[in-house]
Amino acid sequence: MKIDRRGFLSLGVGAAAGIVVTPLPWKLTDDLSIWTQNWPWTPVPADGEKAYAKSVCSLCPGGCGISVRKVEDRAIKIEGIEGHPVNDGGICILGLSGLQTLYGPTRVKQPLMRSGNRGEGRWQKVDWDTALAEITKRLAEIRKAGQAHTVACVAGSDQGTVPQLLKRFLAAYGSSNFIRTPSIRDSYELAFKTMQGSEASAGFDLFNSDFVLSFGSGVIEGWGSPVYMFRANSELRGKGKIVQIEPRLSNTAAKSDKWVPINPGTEAVLALGLAHEIIKESLYNKEFVEKYAAGFESWEDAKGQKQKGFKDWVLENYWPASVANITGVKPAVIHELAVSFAKASKPVALCGRGQGNTPVSLFESMAIHALNALVGNINQKGGISAVPFADYINWPKAPADAVAEAGLQQPRIDGAQSDPFASRYLLNRVVNAAESGKPYALQALLVWEADPIYTLSGSAAVKAAFDKIPFVVSFSSHMNETAQYADLILPDHFYLERYQDIPTPLGMAVPSISLSRPVVKPQFDTKYTGDVLIQVAKGIGGNLAEAMPWKDYEQCLKETLGDHWDKLNAKGMLIAEQYQPPAWDKAFKTASGKFEFCALTAIGETVSIEGDKESYPLTLIPYDSMRLANGFIGDPPFVIKTVSDRILKKKDIFVEINPETAKQYGLADGKSAVLETPRGSARVRVNVFEGIVPGVIAMPRGLGHKAYDKFLAGKGLNVNEFIGSVEDPVSGLDAAWGIRAKLTIA
């Protein structure tokens, strides 16, 4: 067929007209646009009735009020409760990510029994009956063998019904080895005990202070009750001054009115240097020191011997020039700091490095507390006070049979509470005791809301100690490092699924009780740890069953809280609003009835760290960040996402060093280096940072997890693996604030 010009044109016009008239292209375009908006592979979250459930966050001891938004029975968002005494609407980064940990894959979904080697990660899923039968059998056997005292328990807290139930269970069982995980609480409690004679925790009225002198405390890094401290920090702006004494320009240091860089580990010396200037200039609170303090002036004891008082001791030993030599803080700065601190109307000195997750030596906590005494800001507005422990748990003493009595006669495994200066709990010593089998070999360890394998310094030694304990039980609702290393996991409900009483938030000056209430029903086959204890006690029978007479944990909690139960259910928190810290004449329960400066002069100096200067010319210190959770819960995916690429890049961790140090060792910013300490070595990357004292290497705490999911595991290094525990000879606490180290080109 031949196509002429006319035919070609008419065909073209016809085709064009046809395309316009036919619906096909329009239909296709329409379909295409619908199709491109159709994303069946992206989830469509189900809608439904919305409601808010109120509770209290217990991911840390901060005690923030939370309001959880729900759609039907799904929790979709955690928010802070406005007007709540602790957090007033604010909430921290970890609290915000709570739902990722509630629903996420790191949950332990049912009881697990180890089937492979320790830590291998091979588990046999068992039902609760089997799991409870196993723990009952094992504990009954140990008890029968007369080894009741060889069972210990590690818990993240010693306040509230669950820790008290654990303690009670052990007591009836025949062991006094209830041990709380170490933190700055230990140091404060001990300082209060020795200088004030009170069994109490520390409260800080920062909202009303006008001069906060912080010896490395990360007021905005998670120290104390984090959100409460954040709020105080904002409140102080323009009204008061914050001075941060720290080797590193932390966020707290950057936001403070003055950053005083100091050689790490010399905080106590600086505190006494300040005391020297305050005393020399006669700026101390005469009323407090003369009437309510003992051991300030030198005195003659009963034997007629001359005893040196705090005043003479400080004036002789802590001259600004020599203090400057040790601390690296210039004499003029020491003088100015001392004068402005003493002249402020409501000054307060804080102790505890970073988040306060590690204790300090008793010497340090006492030296810093002595400053508070010098300015007379104890139990005063804007100062520090000894907050009594909660008193709502009034169970009768646990009945003891012959086995229990014999067990309780045995010394504690950690030698804690053995003398007036020894701490109440010494988890660091359990490591050595388990390893050496002295004073006796541990037969079983129960772990609740703690992750010692990750959080204790000298991780390798901790693991080796765990290897010597034949039976390790974890109550963790998440597969953390310690759970991974256990023989039996009896998962507790997670904080959003359970009732739990929470005592006074850390660092708050007024006693209170809060109550966590379930926001969602338990997502997995988990059980209250309280219920486990009650059932095991019933299984073993005898005095144990008598010691745990409750039907279940909820009944126990309800009975214990008594009249408070209904109020707590409605309000979430009860504060002793009438509470006033006792006046100075009634505040001190020491032998002299006064604040005792002499307790400080009686004990030794600062703790030196592991390693020799020749082989390890630098000092490694850990640092804390709100964006790196480092307790019994690791970073959820949202939180690790916010970590800077100057801290973590792919799987590499960065350590901070001063440019001068970098130059000295030929290290360049961003480049790899080998970090070596007496405890181990690893490859790191270098972050050259102007905000750090020369000669110091700073490594973030909270990375290097081996447990959890792909979002967290295997990223960076755990600083605890590189730091060895160093015992404070006075208190027994692990007071290691770092370790000697070297950094070389990789």
Partner 1 sequence: MKNEQGHHKTGKKYGMVIDLDKCTGCGACMVACMAENNVPFKEDETNKLDNIMWMRVYRMSNGKPFPDADICYIPRPCMHCEAKHGHSPCVSVCPATATDYSHETGIVSQIYTRCFGCRYCMAACPYHARYFNWWDPVWPEGMKNYLSPDVSPRMRGVVEKCSFCFHRYQLAKDKALTAGHREIEESAYQTACTQACPAGAITFGDLDNPKHAVYKLKHDPRAFRLLERLGTNPKVYYVTDREWVRWMADNYQDQEQKAKG
Applying the rule CB under 8 A, the residues between 513 and 532 that interact with partner 1 are 523
Please return the burial class of 153, using the count of CB atoms within 10 Å of its CB with bins 0-12, 13-18 and 19+: buried
CB 583 within 8 A of CB 381: no
Backbone angles phi, psi at 299, to 5 degrees: -145, 170
Determine if 660 is a binding residue for partner 1 (CB under 8 A). yes
3-state secondary structure at position 276: helix
CA distance 401 to 422: 29
Q: Which is closer to partner 1, CB of 78 or CB of 374? A: 78
Minimum CB–partner distance for residue 330 and partner 1 (Å): 11
Q: Which is closer to partner 1, CB of 692 or CB of 719? A: 692
Q: Which region, judged by CB under 8 A, interacts with partner 1, from 66-74, 158-166, 208-216, 468-476?
A: 66-74
Determine if 255 is a binding residue for partner 1 (CB under 8 A). yes
> Which helix (H) or strand (E) element contains residue 526?
none
Determine if 665 is a binding residue for partner 1 (CB under 8 A). no
Q: State which of positions 87-146 bind partner 1 (CB under 8 A).
A: 87, 89-93, 96-97, 99-100, 102-105, 107
CA distance 481 to 492: 16
Among 261, 452, 511, 700, binds partner 1 (CB under 8 A): 261
Among 142, 184, 483, 692, binds partner 1 (CB under 8 A): 692
Q: How far is residue 323 from each of residues 55, 104, 327, measured CA to CA in Å?
A: 49, 51, 6
Per rule CB under 8 A, count of chain residues that contact partner 1: 77
CA distance 358 to 493: 27
Give the chain's largest Cα–Cα span: 136
Determine if 357 is a binding residue for partner 1 (CB under 8 A). no
Minimum CB–partner distance for residue 668 and partner 1 (Å): 17
Q: Which region, judged by CB under 8 A, interacts with partner 1, from 254-262, 306-314, 363-371, 472-480?
A: 254-262
Q: Which region, judged by CB under 8 A, interacts with partner 1, from 71-79, 144-152, 501-509, 582-590?
A: 71-79
Determine if 282 is a binding residue for partner 1 (CB under 8 A). no
Minimum CB–partner distance for residue 329 and partner 1 (Å): 10
If phi over 0 gives left and psi between -120 and 50 gives alpha, with beta otherwise, what is residue 238? Answer: left
Minimum CB–partner distance for residue 273 and partner 1 (Å): 18
The sign one gets for the Cα dihedral 670, 676, 677, 681 is positive
CB 368 within 8 A of CB 601: no
The sign one gets for the Cα dihedral 601, 377, 249, 278 is negative
Q: Which is closer to partner 1, CB of 35 or CB of 299? A: 35
Binding mask 206-245 for partner 1 (x = CB under 8 A): --------------x-----xx--xx-xx--x--------
Among 431, 472, 639, 675, binds partner 1 (CB under 8 A): 639
Among 6, 303, 397, 710, binds partner 1 (CB under 8 A): 710
3-state secondary structure at position 193: helix
Q: Which is closer to partner 1, CB of 1 or CB of 46? A: 46
Determine if 36 is a binding residue for partner 1 (CB under 8 A). yes
Q: State which of positions 312-331 bind partner 1 (CB under 8 A).
A: none
Which residue reads 């390798």 in tokens?
460
CA distance 576 to 562: 16
Determine if 642 is a binding residue for partner 1 (CB under 8 A). yes
CB 277 within 8 A of CB 334: yes
CB 309 within 8 A of CB 298: yes
Q: What number of CA atoms fall less than 13 Å from residue 687's CA on the CB side?
A: 18
Among 49, 563, 614, 690, binds partner 1 (CB under 8 A): 690
> Which helix (H) or strand (E) element contains residue 710?
none
Determine if 204 is a binding residue for partner 1 (CB under 8 A). no
Backbone angles phi, psi at 479, to 5 degrees: -80, 80
Among 121, 415, 582, 637, binds partner 1 (CB under 8 A): 637
CB 712 within 8 A of CB 634: yes
**Strands 652-657 and 648-649, how do they pair?**
antiparallel
Minimum CB–partner distance for residue 347 and partner 1 (Å): 22
Determine if 691 is a binding residue for partner 1 (CB under 8 A). yes
Q: Which is closer to partner 1, CB of 442 or CB of 640? A: 640
Query: Could you tell me which of 140, 157, 182, 156 has the C-alpha nearest to residue 444?
Result: 140
Which residue reads 């850390």 in tokens?
506
State which amino acid sits at residue 549. Answer: P
Minimum CB–partner distance for residue 296 and partner 1 (Å): 34
Binding mask 593-632 for partner 1 (x = CB under 8 A): ---------------------------------xx-----
Determine if 645 is a binding residue for partner 1 (CB under 8 A). yes
Among 1, 3, 23, 41, binds partner 1 (CB under 8 A): 41
Q: Which is closer to partner 1, CB of 120 or CB of 660? A: 660
Alpha helices in 344-436 (DSSP H): 362-374, 402-409, 427-436
Q: Which region, judged by CB under 8 A, interacts with partner 1, from 75-83, 359-367, 600-608, 737-745?
A: 75-83
Q: Which is closer to partner 1, CB of 307 or CB of 523? A: 523
Which residue reads 């009945």 in tokens?
399
Determine if 46 is a binding residue for partner 1 (CB under 8 A). yes
State which amino acid sits at residue 682. Answer: A
Determine if 711 is a binding residue for partner 1 (CB under 8 A). yes
- Bridge partners (DSSP) listed for residue 155: 180, 448
Determine if 654 is a binding residue for partner 1 (CB under 8 A). no
